[in-house]
Amino acid sequence: MNCNKYTMKSRFFSNLVTQLTILFTLFFSTLSFGQTSCDHYLELYDSYGDGWNNASLNIIVGTTTYGPITLASGGSFTQTFQAVDGDDISVEWVADGSWPGEISFQFRANDGSNLGPLYSGLAVGSTTLVGTASCPNCLAPGNVQIAGITSSTADVSFVDGNSVIANNYEIEYGPGGFTQGTGTTFTTTSSPTGISGLTPGTTYDLYIRTVCGTGNESPWSVPTSFTTSLICPVTNGTYCYDNASTEWINVVVVN
């Protein structure tokens, strides 16, 4: 009898059984305890438009804390964060900053609906339960980005967090603040995708949703805003003037 050969076979089958056991455990753990995570949103506002002036908060999702989060400048900003379906979402107010009366914020669920009220005036160190995370079975695209913006075109990219391949994605866009259902819509099967025929110097809002199957669409994403560039005027041509009076002016041409 070849003992070395027998030992090698024993080790092979032992390792195989171990690997199958791990795969079996992971598979059934996923079936039993698998949870879906999806994007949720925190919209930060400052009424004066100069940021939060060192005020900050933490987002608590289940047992995980994200933060500190602040509005560094400007009047608004949307912070995206992941939450598992069924997790409690809470907010911890960390610091008031210089002008706490200017500050407010709103949590939103994956479908863009309000999660809790519009918050303001929380006490430093306090923790407030906002609500419960909810993820649909067909997730809206996340990490929506607008790049390559010109006076009439833009490129849209996004990430699909679904485990199955989507049929397609619906995109709707229109002038900033437009009512959904009245904008321009089209479908695409891939990211990135291009938009053309835009108006120069115009701010647009863009929404996108996933079509997972017939009659199974995700909620629309929260709006993503972008502004097309201006077209510079022609700097050469024929110019007429009146000899009755002469006035010298300095002209700066920006190309």
Closest CA to 227 of 185, 167, 175: 175
Helix, strand or coil, per DSSP, at residue 33: helix
Give the residue ranges of DSSP H helices in the chain: 3-33
Closest CA to 249 of 238, 231, 234, 239: 239
Task: Choose between 1 and 140: higher pLDDT.
Answer: 140
Task: Tell me the whole-structure pTM to 2 decimals.
Answer: 0.62
What value, to the nearest 5°, has the Cα angle with vertex 237 and ends 231 and 239?
115
Same domain, 123 and 165: no
Number of folded domains in the chain?
Answer: 2
DSSP 86: T
Query: Mean pLDDT across the chain, nearest whole number?
Result: 84
- pLDDT value at position 235? 64
What value, to the nearest 5°, has the Cα angle with vertex 239 and ends 233 and 241?
135
6-15, 67-76, 153-162 — which is least confidently predicted? 6-15
Domain boundary among 102, 132, 162: 132
Give the pLDDT band (50/70/90) at residue 233.
Answer: confident
What mean pLDDT comes out for the span 166-194? Answer: 96
Alpha-carbon gap, residue 75 to 186, rounded angstroms = 31
What mean pLDDT comes out for the span 147-166? Answer: 92
Same domain, 151 and 105: no
What mean pLDDT comes out for the span 200-218? Answer: 95
**66-108, pLDDT tens digit by residue?**
999 999 999 999 999 999 999 999 999 999 999 999 999 999 9
| All residues at 6 or more sequence positions from 224 whose CB lies less than 8 Å from its CB, including other chains | 144, 145, 146, 205, 206, 207
Domain boundary among 132, 167, 185: 132
Alpha-carbon gap, residue 141 to 23, rounded angstroms = 30
Q: Show the domain range for 128.
A: 44-132
15 domain residue, yes or no:
no
First to last CA, the chain: 87
* Inter-residue contact 202 to 175 (CB < 8 Å): yes
Same domain, 128 and 185: no
Helix, strand, coil percentages for the chain (3-state, nearest 5):
15, 40, 45
Judged against a pLDDT cut of 50, whether residue 12 lies above it is answered with no
- pLDDT value at position 74? 95
5 domain residue, yes or no:
no
- pLDDT value at position 147? 97
What mean pLDDT comes out for the span 132-138? Answer: 91
Task: Check which CATH number belongs to the domain holding 149 and give it.
Answer: 2.60.40.10
**13-51, pLDDT tens digit by residue?**
444 433 433 333 333 333 334 467 888 999 999 999 999
